[in-house]
Structure formats: C-alpha cells, structure tokens
Amino acid sequence: MKNLIAELLVKLAEKEEESKELVVQVEALEIVVTALLRHMRQSEQQALITDIEAALDEAKPQSQVPDRDAELLNQYIKKLLRHPRS
C-alpha cells in the first residue's frame, strides 16, 4: 500500500511539473505576441488580427474537440489579440 501511495505521489509531482512547464510556455508566448503587436503599426496590427480571426472562423473544430474547448481557445486568442498584456 505504501508503494502504491509513493508511486501516485511521484506521478502527481511529475504532472505538476509538466503543468508548470506549460504555464511558463504560455506566458512566454503571451510576452512574445504582445511585444510583436506593440512594434507593429496600428493598421498592420488590425490587419493581422482580422486575418487571425477570419482563420479561426473558417477552422471548423473536429467532432472529437468539445465545443467548450474550441470556444475557450477562440476567447483566449481574441483576448490576447485585442487586449494584450500590460
């Protein structure tokens, strides 16, 4: 029983480490996107945002992707493009 609990704790720690790594990757990408947007002219920013939003609208999620997941992705991308980090 102790071995099982120890194994579960090790797996939990590994998952937590993977989760932290993904959070760091997402934050790094947010910083990069924000910096890129800030260095673009307003008209270029708007053109890029329009192109990305059009591509999102055209992309149809596959049946195995839950609607909620697709909507979360869509909302997050729009938030990132329209209201980048300060």
pLDDT value at 86 more than 70: no
Query: What whole-number distance in Å separates Cα of residue 64 and Cα of residue 84?
Result: 30
**Strand stretches in 6-83, DSSP E:** none
Residue 11 domain boundaries: 2-82
* pLDDT one-digit tens code per residue, 46-76: 999 899 888 887 876 666 778 888 888 888 8
Number of domains composing the chain: 1
pLDDT value at 19 more than 90: yes
* pLDDT one-digit tens code per residue, 22-44: 999 999 999 998 889 889 999 99
Q: What is the pTM of this model?
A: 0.67
